Structure 1
Amino acid sequence: MNQPILSVSNLTTAFRVDGVWRPVVRNVSFDVAERETLAVVGESGSGKSVTALSIMQLTPPNNSRIEGSIKLGGKELLTLSNEEMRDIRGNEIAMIFQEPMTSLNPVLTVGFQIAEALILHRGLSRAQAEAETIRLLEKVRIPSAKSRFHDYPHRFSGGMRQRVMIALALACKPKLLIADEPTTALDVTIQAQILQLIKELQKEEGMSVLFITHDMGVVAEIADRTVVMYNGESVEAGSTDDIFARAKHPYTRSLLSAVPKLGSMEGRARPMRFPVVDKTTGESDVPVETPDTVASSERPVLEVSNLTTRFEIRSGLFGKVKGRVHAVENVSFSLQRGETLALVGESGCGKSTTGRSVMRLQQPMGGSVLLDGEDLLQLDAKALRERRKRIQMIFQDPFASLNPRMNVGDAIATPLLINNLASRSQAREKVAELLHYVGLSPDMAQRFPHEFSGGQRQRVCIARALALEPSVIVADESVSALDVSVKAQVVNLMLDLQARMKLAYLFISHDMAVVERVSHRVAVMYLGEIVEIGPREAIFGNPQHPYTKRLLEAVPVADPEQRHTKKSVSNSEIRSPVRAADYVPSPRQYREVSPGHSVMMWGQEWAS
């Protein structure tokens, strides 16, 4: 039997906290064979990223302790000096991190950063390194690689920055590539591109891949074998096919059950809760459809017509307008009481700006936003503040939307107090009630945001949004940053609250599998415009616009048997919404495919 490229035995990593050594990873063992992809999967806090950093010996030297054995091609890494380890890093083992913008130096061009690694590790001259860098950028499918050599990281999109990181990682032809959550922050189509790229490059270069993720759909797509981590320990390991078909550990089964599967809602008219699985016993409840809450006979609670939001680009601080970002262009939709309308699309398509424009957190240039028949865009500041009691927003990042110096009880009580809806003692009672409502205990009111997990912080934000008893909630990527099981819990909470309070949700997301689960209707956005809108079952069962089809085809399928099925993944980026100052959009035409299902007529740009 061939010797594995990487062999990890009884790895234990501890950090010193307040003078006490606390183990974060305990007795973890696994091998990575030649040309193999091993996935290490688990939720935040399971120890998977610390395992990767331990292999690279990138944990802080003064406050961490690594024990056990880590062998690369038979060579023990834990006994190497810093200088010897520096030769291994980037040369024999390369790593791609989750957030490329924090991994790339913002004041150096991407070409310089890749060339620097080639000069340092492979001893190339500057001219040779530049030529090799351009070849690497072309290899990772960056268009016009030669002209982009001198661009800085901020000039690239998220997906293209991740491609630059892959080029940097491949520069010295490593034996092993460690990819730590490389697609988590990316849109579904960009994620599909990066996964396909890693698979193709692995085949071309003959390298092994250690892929770290919490997304079981991605695991099914890319991994030959899988190690499941929970609470710092490896609880299950085996071939990916076996793990998916015959998972033994309750935690593995809970992870798999929480993965939203595209197509699982076929034949169901209403949203459906995720199954809840006990992580210690593996026992699951039976998910049920939510009650019929949509009041279709009434006037819509929210009516948006021809909403247009543009951002001016000036040639200087006081210069004339030289162009505009057409972020939202003639967007129209309605929302019934008790209904969820999902707004989907890639980053930059205008969906978040639409949500902020509806709330008037961003001032639109034109159109109307009727809340219970009253146009929010025509109100003065005082009247708008009064009407905002009926429409609230949940933001993507709960940590950024909570004041770190204010305990969560005060954060939830503040809307009640500033609107004079309760005295301080009444507000405290309401806070306790709301915390109980969202599955938290009332005594947590005295805690600060940093003392909660990501899922708990999002529950606090939901409680704050509910404080004023709104009719409409704009949920902007409210579950995108959460682990798969926490995401399922928060989605279930939102569905339960909708059934109880007849809330209307404008659910903004790029996660098509979650959207299929929670929505009544779906609107697909591209370049600031709605290109297709209709009932959820029509959009997912009979998509018409090429862009809708592209989004659905890119969703990772949580089935290892389909891993080798060739996907038609487009490598094109979303086009720029920047237009000349005198640009006038051409009128758009829609055709009705079926009742309530309309699609924009498209031109030559989608012909291929």
Structure 2
Amino acid sequence: MNCTQDSAPVLSVSDLVTSFRVERQWRQVVKGISFDIKPRETVAVVGESGSGKSVTALSVMRLTQPGSSRIEGSIKLSGKELLTLPEADMRRIRGNEIAMIFQEPMTSLNPVLPIGFQIAEALVMHRGLSRSEAEAETIRLLEKVRIPAARSRFHEYPHRFSGGMRQRVMIAMALACKPKLLIADEATTALDVTIQAQILELIKLLQEEDGMSVLFITHDMGVVAEIADRTVVMYNGEAVETSTTEAIFTRPTHPYTRSLLAAVPKLGAMEGVRRPMRFPMVDRKTGLSDVPTETADTVATSERPVLEVNGLTTRFEIRSGLLGGVKGRVHAVENVSFSLQPGETLALVGESGCGKSTTGRSVMRLIEPLSGSVLLDGEDVLKLDQKTLRERRVRMQMIFQDPFASLNPRMDVGTTIAEPLLINRLATRSEAQDKVAELLQRVGLHPDMASRFPHEFSGGQRQRICIARALAVEPRLIVADESVSALDVSVKAQVINLMLELQERMKLAYLFISHDMAVVERVSHRVAVMYLGEIVEIGPREAIFGNPQHPYTKRLLAAVPVADPARRHEKRPVSNDEIKSPVRAPDYVPPVRQYREASPGHAVMIWGEEWERKDQRTEMAA
């Protein structure tokens, strides 16, 4: 950005210490951090969960809980000390001079108020506009953040918007009063790569137009390279390294910074590598890295596939009222077919709403499909009665995205891991205890941890517990549904390395559901790209990433943030199209799809005129 080096900083944070009262003692969470943000400059604060990033942002806004928190040091906005301001004055600054975008827009928007009213409210309160003036200005802001048909959507409620569109609404709300500083706290973490790319491009464009400064909180180093002028690396509440983003990426000095960068999956890093490869692990104290190696060839192509899915179709009916007739159907999964060999990883990729998770749940029969077949070792799972299905689920297990939500908070982890063994009568209680100790060691945890409860573990450790539970019954197939999406880069690398090691040892087959294309490239043998419930392209990993054929696949790959600050000012071909709705009329009959073979094992759906136009737009933008 065009920040002026000798200009006075918009925000100056000096020796910031934030403490929380825990069991009658003050515990420091942010420990003496200092940084400045100049006009038009973007500063990124990066680090793992628990490093103090978000607490730093909340301290700047003075949004920590009074009474149980304490903020010391100095926070100056354009030379004005914020920590000594009365709360009434601070309320006038929040949303007016400093605005904040939070990670989850649905928890930040009022679900019972139209989005237009919520934006207009800030304009009436801070800028003194009348209701009619505020409505006109809100429509202008919605158009500015690329909300299609902004005037007609003014009176719509948050649940009617997609995740990416809700985040755009939050940006419009944040920009309503033309703030000097925008704080974006993990604003793109939960978004798909295409939506993430749109939001990043939008923030950069609006920053150029309005001249604001940005404090960007994230643990995604690819996003940092894409947007930040300078970077502050936090570890255990301290700023361990502060420099220009280019220097951080090319000449990192602190071991922790080097470990963060080593764990970043880079698109294209697998060129010329035939099989999945482990992430290099860097010691945080010494900065020394091991040498990543390819996994052994575990794919048993001579055996019958462990999973054969043919013509899988899952739809959800939309009824008008409790007793009303069917007024439409969500075509969540439409005529999907693929197979999976023992020891193989097939990745299902695509944007939210494309049908990835529904496919995984339909394979497990957690959702009942409408039609098709799912053969597990040659036996059709969809034709089994409930008793036989429970017995067969021993051979197929699922790892969910949110480990905390999938663990019983009232049950210690030892009991959680032992439960499937006892329910399926695969072990006695004493045998189960021995098995739990072995499984905890296998996933890199200590057997003594069996007596602890889920809340006593970090996110990465909880995901390891979920993996241990899935492995307890020694399955042949594991459906991993966004199992590493919510994890920090270093924890993500550890969990993926563990999954690859277990696959090598046990010849596990993985159906790996993800929207993170760089991770998919690292772990998969084959890739299937989904759009609106259908597979539009499927083939070997090197074919999909090295020679993508379908325009949608090209769009997904073009949207992946590149961890290279030198390319930060390049304009990328980002599409602003929303993914279409999968809702169809009750009498809708899906067209018969045709595929062509681009190379051995690489099949591509033959697309029509609409995709041809999109493909041309992408090429022109590039």
TM-score (normalizing by structure 2): 0.97
Q: Deviations over 1:204-239 (max 9, x none)?
A: 000000001000000000000000000000000010
**Residue aligning to 2:113:** 108
Distance apart, 1:316 and its partner CA = 1.5
Distance apart, 1:102 and its partner CA = 0.5
Q: Deviations over 1:140-181 (max 9, x none)?
A: 000000011001111111100000000000000000000100
Distance apart, 1:315 and its partner CA = 1.1
The answer to whether residue 159 in structure 2 is matched with residue 184 in structure 1 is: no
Alignment partners' CA distance in 2, 1:317 and 1:547: 38
**Residue aligning to 1:161:** 166
**Residue aligning to 1:29:** 34
The one-letter code of the counterpart of 1:375 is D
**Residue aligning to 1:366:** 371
Paired residue for 1:488, among 493, 496, 501? Answer: 493
Alignment of 1:293-332 (within 5 A): 293-332=298-337
SS of the equivalent of 2:346 reads strand
The answer to whether residue 156 in structure 2 is matched with residue 151 in structure 1 is: yes
Alignment of 1:494-573 (within 5 A): 494-573=499-578
The answer to whether residue 75 in structure 2 is matched with residue 70 in structure 1 is: yes
SS of the equivalent of 2:354 reads coil
Alignment of 1:120-139 (within 5 A): 120-139=125-144
The answer to whether residue 210 in structure 2 is matched with residue 193 in structure 1 is: no
Alignment partners' CA distance in 2, 1:466 and 1:2: 58
**Residue aligning to 2:224:** 219
**Residue aligning to 1:580:** 585
Paired residue for 1:459, among 460, 464, 477? Answer: 464
Distance apart, 1:375 and its partner CA = 0.4
Alignment partners' CA distance in 2, 1:27 and 1:534: 51
The one-letter code of the counterpart of 1:593 is A
Distance apart, 1:565 and its partner CA = 1.2
Paired residue for 1:283, among 283, 288, 303? Answer: 288
4+ runs deviating over 6 angstroms: none
Alignment partners' CA distance in 1, 2:166 and 2:320: 27
**Residue aligning to 2:267:** 262
The answer to whether residue 413 in structure 2 is matched with residue 405 in structure 1 is: no
The answer to whether residue 596 in structure 2 is matched with residue 596 in structure 1 is: no
The one-letter code of the counterpart of 1:566 is K
SS of the equivalent of 1:432 reads helix
Which 5+ residue runs of structure 1 have no aligned equivalent? none
Alignment partners' CA distance in 2, 1:280 and 1:93: 37
Alignment of 1:419-458 (within 5 A): 419-458=424-463
CA RMSD of aligned residues (A): 0.5
SS of the equivalent of 1:400 reads coil
Distance apart, 1:607 and its partner CA = 1.6
Alignment partners' CA distance in 1, 2:399 and 2:18: 37
Alignment of 1:379-390 (within 5 A): 379-390=384-395
Distance apart, 1:18 and its partner CA = 1.2
**Residue aligning to 2:619:** none
The one-letter code of the counterpart of 2:189 is T
SS of the equivalent of 1:186 reads coil
**Residue aligning to 2:90:** 85
Alignment partners' CA distance in 1, 2:530 and 2:430: 45
Alignment partners' CA distance in 2, 1:89 and 1:76: 14
The one-letter code of the counterpart of 1:247 is P
Distance apart, 1:38 and its partner CA = 0.5
Alignment of 1:245-260 (within 5 A): 245-260=250-265
Alignment partners' CA distance in 1, 2:377 and 2:356: 22
The answer to whether residue 406 in structure 2 is matched with residue 416 in structure 1 is: no
Distance apart, 1:279 and its partner CA = 1.1
Distance apart, 1:544 and its partner CA = 0.2
Q: What percentage of aligned pairs have identical amino acids?
A: 81
Alignment partners' CA distance in 2, 1:583 and 1:20: 64
Distance apart, 1:577 and its partner CA = 0.3
Q: Deviations over 1:263-296 (max 9, x none)?
A: 0000011000000011111111100000000001
Alignment partners' CA distance in 2, 1:191 and 1:431: 40
Distance apart, 1:429 and its partner CA = 0.5
**Residue aligning to 2:474:** 469
Q: Deviations over 1:405-457 (max 9, x none)?
A: 01111111110101111110011011111111100011111111111100000
The one-letter code of the counterpart of 1:230 is Y
Distance apart, 1:366 and its partner CA = 0.5
Alignment partners' CA distance in 2, 1:524 and 1:321: 30
Distance apart, 1:298 and its partner CA = 1.2
**Residue aligning to 1:49:** 54
Alignment partners' CA distance in 2, 1:496 and 1:38: 37
Alignment partners' CA distance in 1, 2:72 and 2:275: 52
SS of the equivalent of 1:551 reads helix
Distance apart, 1:2 and its partner CA = 1.4
Residue-pair matches, total: 608
The one-letter code of the counterpart of 1:198 is I
SS of the equivalent of 2:70 reads strand
The one-letter code of the counterpart of 1:143 is P
TM-score (normalizing by structure 1): 1.00
Which 5+ residue runs of structure 2 have no aligned equivalent? 1-5, 614-622
SS of the equivalent of 1:297 reads coil
The answer to whether residue 352 in structure 2 is matched with residue 347 in structure 1 is: yes
